[in-house]
Structure 1
Amino acid sequence: MPELLAKRVSNYELFFDLAFVLGISQLTSSIHLSHVGVQEIFSFIISNIILLNLWMTEVFYYNKYGDSRRDDIFTIIPLMFVVGNLALTFDMDRTHLYVGHPTVVIFNWLLILAYAIIALQYFLKGRVLGFNRDIKFSIVACVIYGISLLPFALGFLGANIWTMLIYLIPSIFPVLTRRYHDSSRINFPHAVERAQLVTILTLGETVIAIISTYPLTESLYQGALLFAGMSFMFISYMTQTFLAIDHHRQVAGSLLFYAHIPIFIGINIFTVGIEFLADSHHANLGFTLLLLGFLSFYAGVLTTTHYNQSIYQLHLKTYLKIGLLLGIGAFIMFLVRHHILLLSLALCATTWTYNYYYLIVRRKKREYHNIPHPDPRKNLRDFS
């Protein structure tokens, strides 16, 4: 089978992602409350899923049908504007989430409008290419997502732990109805690149959080080590998604996007945890969030190994060793949780060891299959 050619990521897609930079920033800021309990954390997680679901819905459209011609340009720009304003309404304060509160009403009307614009994109594309079953069903899906939000927008429902489960419909519905989607239209290389880009943008907020919370002039060792630990996490992600994954394959890629839910949530929880660690009032919660974010991130990264090249397919024994490594690292971090310097050292040691072990695994896989190790003098882009 010939290699699948990668669909180039459009500059308009990159422009659209700028709205999500604001969204990620607003998300991590919105949970900085005097009291943070179970409902606030649950609201934060659901808000992450809402934002990522919206991003994924647009990515799937652009992946399958987007061509950045007039119809796409003049719909993605308004969508970007709506998403940016939607981000301004993120609020984890439970006292603002009751029935009919302006925050709940405005947030949901903007979310409905966003899905309506994506439905319009499919409709306009259908007029050009014909209304195949995939386009028709995608329009219906967006309409269902919008209708499910009307009770919030019309002031019939407030947001609590139970009603917020409605926001998971865009995550669950595609799984239940996957036979109606045309997976042959998915361009997997484009999907991988888009997932990488949103992960980089999300880690950008972590970079800002570490540098602003632990500046060089005040927290030299803590800031430097936390930054190094975060950087090793990024290396883990890029090693997996850039070097190990088989980019040129014809697959639907649904699991790739679902794997990025724990990655996306994990990074944002990790970011908030780093900020809370520096606040004596939230320090204990900060460690809990940091550790949960760390584990969630690596759970998502390991899930993407499903798409590895044939020579890099991992065995159960390898997964168990990685799990043991991460478990030991998490336990050590728990033991030193009250000392940020020691905690950051444990984070660095765990993430560095993970990367080194994965390097050894890939080398042994190549040797087992009699494949020469990459020569950086001949291929400057391959750093394995």
Structure 2
Amino acid sequence: MKNELLKKVSMIELFYDLVFVYMISQVTGLIHHLQNGVISPSALSIFTLVVIVSINSWMVQTVFNNRYGKSQWSNVILSFVDMAIVLYMSNAFSDTFDRHLIGFFIAAGLLSLTLAIQYLLVFVQTKNEYDRNIAMAFMRILFFRTACLLAGGVLAGRWGTTIALFGIITSWIIPAFIGKHTQKHPIIFSHLLERLTALIIIMFGETIVGISKYFTQNTFSIQSIMIFIIVVSLFFTYIVEFDHLIEEQRTHETGNLLIYLHYFILFGLSLVTVALDFIHESEANAIFSITCLYVGIALFYIGIVIASYYNKTTLKLENYVVVAFIVVTLMGYFTSMCFATFSIIAGVTALTTLINAVVITLSLVRRYER
């Protein structure tokens, strides 16, 4: 099948992103609250659950639009229905496994159902064997998830939650194994890349909102600048990889690796966002706060390194960049642990992320000078 190289991001897709700004804000709020100085296991588990469901749904919709999205009334109407469901989902969970999750499971099940219906329409309308196979594969995955989530909402309790979790995890993983179908109709790589970078920018926006409390007349200090440098350095690292090193005009790609690596970046940024708040809180456990911050940074860099698979042939990530990421980040972590004060943590982490940003940037500059 002919592989297109370009596809314009539609206004509907950009409008669709707006509800995820709210969703991300709500779900990040789950892990902003501490219990005995740390994030409670239930809050962290529900945060992970909600992120996987919401972002995976966003990914499925994005991949559908990439392959089959057209300005048809059916697609537009279902997109608006999805937005309404996501808005409801954003307010249908709490930080404990209680009856609040019933509404979330049912709403998530309905969201999966609308996504499945879109693939059903493709299956019915197309005569192309490859597209029918792709549509059938995603229909099975999405109808399975719909059944599990609705069962979880109806049954409630431990059994209901177990069934829902099984459906969520299974449907999250299985798309990675249907490449034999999806490679027959490759994604438009540049479009998927643009959509994913937009999602990450939304996440960075949430991080900026999170650190804004350090920039008031009463709280502004040198540490505020250090906190800002941390965020800017991470963002600059992301820009260098995804705006300069990566090959946008790739062909014959399923996009699976690009999608899954962004979960590392998304979870990493979420942890960084809350940890930058925790490191200044007196009631927060210092060891936990520092570990949370550096685990987030490490996840972010893991995503960046995996993304180098897609780099231009002349701009492959050099080994010394990866070594620098590992060594500098570990040094920053252990130094912060030894001198666990807000000023030291902020300064050391700013230096850590800045050095890593400079290393990957110099690697790019050196390649262009050759």
TM-score by length of 1: 0.87
Which range is displaced more, 162-171 or 338-347? 162-171
Count of aligned residue pairs for this structure pair? 360
**1 CA distance for matches of 2:162 and 2:276?**
25
TM-fit CA distance, 1:41: 1.9
TM-fit CA distance, 1:129: 3.1
Residue identity matched to 2:12: Y
Could you say which residue in structure 2 is the equivalent of 1:194? Answer: 195
- Pair 1:171 & 2:172 matched: yes
Q: 1:119·1:139 contact (CA, 8 Å) conserved in 2? A: yes
Could you say if the C-alpha distance between residues 294 and 318 of structure 1 is closer, same or farther in structure 2, counting changes exceeding 3 Å?
closer
Could you say which residue in structure 1 is the equivalent of 2:29? Answer: 29
Could you say if the C-alpha distance between residues 145 and 5 of structure 1 is closer, same or farther in structure 2, counting changes exceeding 3 Å?
same
Could you say which residue in structure 1 is the equivalent of 2:305? Answer: 302
Residue identity matched to 2:8: R
Q: 1:215·1:223 contact (CA, 8 Å) conserved in 2? A: no
Could you say which residue in structure 2 is the equivalent of 1:105? Answer: 102
Could you say if the C-alpha distance between residues 162 and 217 of structure 1 is closer, same or farther in structure 2, counting changes exceeding 3 Å?
farther
- 1:297-324 CA-partner distances (Å, limit 9, x unpaired): 1111111011000011134444223322
Could you say which residue in structure 2 is the equivalent of 1:351? Answer: 353
Name the Cα RMSD after superposition.
2.3
**2 CA distance for matches of 1:26 and 1:76?**
21
Runs of 4+ in 1 over 6 A off after TM superposition: 159-163
Segments of 5+ residues of structure 2 without an aligned counterpart are none
3-state DSSP of counterpart to 2:155? coil
Could you say which residue in structure 1 is the equivalent of 2:43? Answer: 40
- Pair 1:232 & 2:233 matched: yes
Could you say which residue in structure 2 is the equivalent of 1:266? Answer: 268
TM-score by length of 2: 0.90
TM-fit CA distance, 1:345: 1.5
Q: 1:7·1:187 contact (CA, 8 Å) conserved in 2? A: yes
Could you say which residue in structure 2 is the equivalent of 1:6? Answer: 6
**2 CA distance for matches of 1:32 and 1:223?**
19
**Identical aligned residues as a percent:** 22
The correspondence for 1:75, drawn from 74, 78, 91, is: 78
Could you say if the C-alpha distance between residues 318 and 291 of structure 1 is closer, same or farther in structure 2, counting changes exceeding 3 Å?
closer
**2 CA distance for matches of 1:111 and 1:61?**
18
Could you say if the C-alpha distance between residues 81 and 124 of structure 1 is closer, same or farther in structure 2, counting changes exceeding 3 Å?
same
The residue correspondences of 1:362-373 to structure 2 (distance < 5 A) are 362-368=364-370
Residue identity matched to 1:11: M
Q: 2:122·2:132 contact (CA, 8 Å) conserved in 1? A: no
Could you say if the C-alpha distance between residues 294 and 125 of structure 1 is closer, same or farther in structure 2, counting changes exceeding 3 Å?
same
TM-fit CA distance, 1:109: 0.5
**2 CA distance for matches of 1:349 and 1:317?**
18
The correspondence for 2:257, drawn from 251, 255, 258, is: 255
**1 CA distance for matches of 2:186 and 2:88?**
31
**2 CA distance for matches of 1:367 and 1:341?**
38
Segments of 5+ residues of structure 1 without an aligned counterpart are 369-384
Could you say which residue in structure 2 is the equivalent of 1:118? Answer: 115
